[in-house]
């Protein structure tokens, strides 16, 4: 079942797709996954999701988001809201892993292109950054990733994390200062 | 490149490989399949939950009724320890005699436990009359 095109023509694409999904259109859900799955995977991997679990965590995040989409009030972009759900999914995953006495694994992010020497240095720096991110308080880590990795404005981050733009800015600067000490 | 810019540059590369490896179409397909399964599972969960709640209510209410019927009421026990004679404390000697005489007529004079040596209720003082009433209460 799809909404009439005229009813959704003026809405931003995500909002139109959400309405269509709420009306029972499975294709709309699939399109939302297609639009946001890769940025979500980047966010989860950057936040410390083990490489082999990113796929499952992406799925779980979308499932939770679609099941609770009635609570999305458009206070921020759909993608930003989705990323915050992803952060919760990752936190729950970490708790389960801790109960199973598994150590959280960092995603060994590597760039497969470029000069091998530069690549090795970059890989080492990225690994240090990833490890440094795990040492940050959760809010600092999420603000840092939303700002530096996803390129969001402080107002958008604040709306998603239920804080103020000023507080988000402070969290970001604390995070950068600590990460600079790690990645020297 | 200063420190802040370097950190931000590194952050932009974080997770790129994981994102590149993700099979988006397969992910979308799996998500839709799981969402399709959800309503049935949710309905089943609601059904099972209501059954559990109903069973719990039956156990609690049934248990409460059984306990209530299995024990004598608290008011009955209190009444067992209450003497009618205590209510007659404020009566004068003559009034007590009238009560006993009336009672005597009802149950028959042979059942009244008159203290030894007395033949007439009129010879008894208030204390003895109360003792007679207590003996009648058993």
- Domain CATH for A90: 1.10.1740.10
- pTM score over 0.80: no
Question: A2 lies in a domain?
Answer: no
ipTM over 0.90: no
Q: Which of A105, A126, A148 is the last residue of a domain?
A: A105
Residues A131 and A164 in one domain: yes
Residues A88 and A40 in one domain: yes
Question: A6 lies in a domain?
Answer: no
Q: How far is CA B56 from CA B42, B46, B47, B59, B105, in A?
A: 21, 15, 14, 5, 58
| Minimum Cα–Cα distance from A106: chain B residue | B15
Specify the higher pLDDT residue, B8 or B103. B8
CB contact under 8 Å between B27 and A176, yes or no, is: no
**What mean pLDDT do residues A59-76 have?**
92
Question: A5 lies in a domain?
Answer: no
CB contact under 8 Å between B31 and A30, yes or no, is: yes
Specify the higher pLDDT residue, A74 or A44. A44
CB contact under 8 Å between B11 and A54, yes or no, is: no
User: Under 8 Å CB-to-CB from A61, ≥6 apart: which residues?
Assistant: A40, A44, A82, A85, A86, A89
Reduce the DSSP state of residue A2 to 3 states and report it: coil
Q: Which of A105, A122, A138 is the last residue of a domain?
A: A105
Q: How far is B53 from chain A (nearest CA, A)?
A: 25
Which range, A140-144, B12-16, B68-72, B90-94, has the best average confidence (pLDDT)? A140-144
CB contact under 8 Å between A39 and B17, yes or no, is: no
Half-sphere exposure of residue A23, counting CA atoms within 13 Å on the CB side?
Answer: 16
**pLDDT digits over B51-79, tens only?**
777 888 888 888 888 877 777 655 555 55
Closest to A60 measured CA to CA, from A92, A32, A38, A30 = A92
Structural domain boundaries enclosing A53: 11-105
Domain count, chain A: 2
- Across the A:B interface, residue pairs with CB atoms under 8 Å apart total 124
Q: Which of A42, A75, A105 is the last residue of a domain?
A: A105
Query: Cα A103 to chain center, whole Å?
Result: 21
Residues A63 and A120 in one domain: no
Residues A118 and A78 in one domain: no
DSSP alpha helix (H) spans, chain A? 5-8, 13-22, 26-46, 54-67, 78-99, 116-135, 138-144, 154-161, 165-182
Q: How far is A6 from chain B (nearest CA, A)?
A: 25
**Is A155 an 8 Å CB contact of chain B?**
no
């Amino acid at each position: 079942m799809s909404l009439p095109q005229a009813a959704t023509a003026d809405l931003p694409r995500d909002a139109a797709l959400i309405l269509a999904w709420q009306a029972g259109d499975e294709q709309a859900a699939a399109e939302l996954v297609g639009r946001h799955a890769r940025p979500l995977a980047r966010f989860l991997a950057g936040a410390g999701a083990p490489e082999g679990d990113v796929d499952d965590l992406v799925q779980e995040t979308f499932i939770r988001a679609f099941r609770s989409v009635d609570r999305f009030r458009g206070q921020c972009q759909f993608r930003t809201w989705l990323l915050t759900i992803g952060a919760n999914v990752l936190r729950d995953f970490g708790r389960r892993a801790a109960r199973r006495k598994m150590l959280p694994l960092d995603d060994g992010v590597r760039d497969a292109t470029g000069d091998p020497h530069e690549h090795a240095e970059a890989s080492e720096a990225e690994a240090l950054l990833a490890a440094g991110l795990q040492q940050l308080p959760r809010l600092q880590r999420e603000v840092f990733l939303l700002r530096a990795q996803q390129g969001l404005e402080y107002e958008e981050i604040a709306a998603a994390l239920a804080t103020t733009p000023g507080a988000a800015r402070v969290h970001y600067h604390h995070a950068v200062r600590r990460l600079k000490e790690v990645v020297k | 490149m200063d420190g802040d810019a370097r950190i931000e540059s590194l952050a932009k590369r974080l997770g790129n490989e994981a994102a590149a490896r993700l099979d988006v179409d397969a992910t979308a397909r799996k998500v839709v399949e799981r969402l399709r399964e959800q309503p049935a599972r949710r309905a089943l969960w609601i059904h099972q939950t209501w059954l559990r709640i109903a069973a719990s209510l039956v156990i609690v209410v049934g248990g409460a009724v059984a306990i209530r019927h299995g024990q004598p009421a608290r008011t009955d026990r209190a009444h067992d320890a209450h003497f009618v004679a205590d209510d007659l404390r404020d009566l004068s000697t003559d009034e007590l005699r009238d009560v006993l005489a009336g009672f005597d007529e009802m149950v028959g004079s042979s059942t009244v436990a008159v203290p030894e040596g007395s033949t007439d209720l009129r010879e008894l003082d208030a204390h003895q009359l109360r003792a007679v009433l207590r003996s009648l209460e058993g």
